[in-house]
Amino acid sequence: MSYKTLSKEELIKLEEKFEKQYISFKDKNLKLDMSRGKPGPDQLDLCMGMLDVFNSKSILNSEDGFDCRNYGCLEGIREARELMSGILDSSPDEVIIYGNSSLNIMYDTVSRSYTHGIFGMTPWKDLKEVKFICIVPGYDRHFSILRHFGIGYVNVPMLKDGPDMDMIEKLVAEDESIKGMWCVPKYSNPDGTIYSDKTVKRMAALKPRAKDFRIYWDNAYGVHNLYDDYEELTDILRECSKAGNPDMVYKFASTSKISFTGGGLAAMAASKKNIEEIKKQLFFQTIGHDKMNQLRHTRFFKDIEGIRAHMKKHALILRPKFEMVTATFEKELSGTDTASWTKPRGGYFISLNTMEGCAKEVVAYCKDAGVVLTPAGATFPDGIDPEDSNIRIAPSYPGIDELKAASELLCLCIKLVSVRKLIK
């Protein structure tokens, strides 16, 4: 029954009912958190065997004989580049292994363009205006990097098969100040969208006015499938090459949500020309990253097939959680016309849209009753969701019983806030 078709009297009756239910929820003194997109301890336990792959008697040489205990090997040991090239869908020669965080690499990549410029072009710090395309809703930390450097943004909406490419083609062709674009191409944060083959090809064929325009391809969830029958993502770097734009993309990934969130491997891939330029600057930053960790990862996972098998174990833990949340939404909200939500087939988030102007209040009501959600607006640059509608749900960390209680409360808050809005 759509709440939008109810009379005022009917809505007031519903309000009274939901208010009572809300008070009894409050009496339960819940203390739950659905805001953190991080793996649960049981997922991290899956990787504890990695700590046993060597001990004080082990020989810690890479396959080509490099002593991983020592300085050197700036781009990372060969077998780690091979392992990460499987996730990044690139050749090992196009890959550099960094430390444990891909966000750190993304920050560095923007920072380098800001201070030194790309391929000898004007550093962004010396330009009057620099802007990025931000696909919304999106990942708040991408947006924070821009804010940190004083880089502006243009929002472009996410559609069913990726961002609005008509808008992007026009923007980059007309505006020389647009220097980049954040993309999470597989199971996007927070919508769970996979960019279609057509979208990737259109992106690779962009004709940007700015010669130093780059696509920041953050494939954070490339192997994070919840179901065995998953959709493959077309590789952007190969498509860029075919389209005559070989240097237009930087790809990023990490094992943060594969091995240890606090101790994984992060890597980037790009054309050989880009990689050479990046390595020249990296030379000033480090003599080499943590090769012992690179060795631990390669000895534990062996290859991309090892990673895929491991991700199936993650899926067994995560799938029931995602399904529990979406089933609760279905049961409690379906037909009420108060919210819509995504049903992702991978990644870490569910994206929920309330009626316009309700998200902040829903989050506040949940908090008052003991359930913390990601702040409304966090999925938009500067925390401003023009429709005050999007809420990012992170089902991975809480246990399944906690998740059930939290989802039920969330649905109740949506119904209560929506009914109150309709009464006004």
Q: Cα angle vertex 195, ends 328, 318, to 5°?
A: 35
Rule CB under 6 A: say whether 256 interacts with ligand PLP. yes
Rule CB under 6 A: say whether 171 interacts with ligand PLP. no
CB of residue 261 vs ligand PLP: minimum separation in angstroms? 6
Tell me which of 94, 212, 218, 388 binds ligand PLP, using CB under 6 A: 218
Cβ–Cβ under 8 Å, residues 53 and 300:
yes
Quick one: 377 or 412, whose CB is closer to ligand PLP? Answer: 377
CB of residue 419 vs ligand PLP: minimum separation in angstroms? 33
Quick one: 94 or 218, whose CB is closer to ligand PLP? Answer: 218
Quick one: 137 or 208, whose CB is closer to ligand PLP? Answer: 137
Helix (H, G, I), strand (E, B) or coil at 214: strand
Rule CB under 6 A: say whether 266 interacts with ligand PLP. yes
Rule CB under 6 A: say whether 294 interacts with ligand PLP. no
| Segment interacting with ligand PLP, rule: CB under 6 A, options 3-11, 49-57, 97-105, 334-342 | 97-105
Tell me how far the alpha carbon of residue 2 is from its chain's centroid: 33
CB of residue 253 vs ligand PLP: minimum separation in angstroms? 8
Tell me which of 114, 139, 217, 300 binds ligand PLP, using CB under 6 A: 139
Q: Which of 309, 272, 277 is nearest to 90 (CA)?
A: 272
Residue 305 CA to residue 401 CA, distance in Å, equals 33
State in Å, rounded, how far the first CA of the chain is from the last one.
20
Rule CB under 6 A: say whether 132 interacts with ligand PLP. no
Q: Which of 418, 422, 321 is nearest to 365 (CA)?
A: 418
Query: In the block, which residue shows the tokens 């902040």?
Result: 360
Residue 388 CA to residue 366 CA, distance in Å, equals 16
Quick one: 254 or 293, whose CB is closer to ligand PLP? Answer: 254
Tell me how far the alpha carbon of residue 202 is from its chain's centroid: 22
Tell me which of 11, 87, 88, 103 binds ligand PLP, using CB under 6 A: 103
Question: For residue 17, what are the CA distances in angstroms to 13, 413, 416?
Answer: 6, 12, 9
Tell me which of 102, 294, 389, 418 binds ligand PLP, using CB under 6 A: 102
Quick one: 35 or 254, whose CB is closer to ligand PLP? Answer: 254
Tell me which of 80, 178, 183, 184 binds ligand PLP, using CB under 6 A: 184
Q: Which of 136, 256, 110, 249 is nearest to 189 (CA)?
A: 136
Task: Give the footprint of ligand PLP on residues 314-373 (CB under 6 A).
Answer: none
Q: Cα angle vertex 341, ends 420, 416, to 5°?
A: 15
Quick one: 216 or 329, whose CB is closer to ligand PLP? Answer: 216
Q: Which of 317, 345, 302, 338 is nearest to 403 (CA)?
A: 317
> For binding to ligand PLP (CB under 6 A), which residues are involved?
37, 101-103, 139, 184, 189, 218, 220, 254, 256, 266
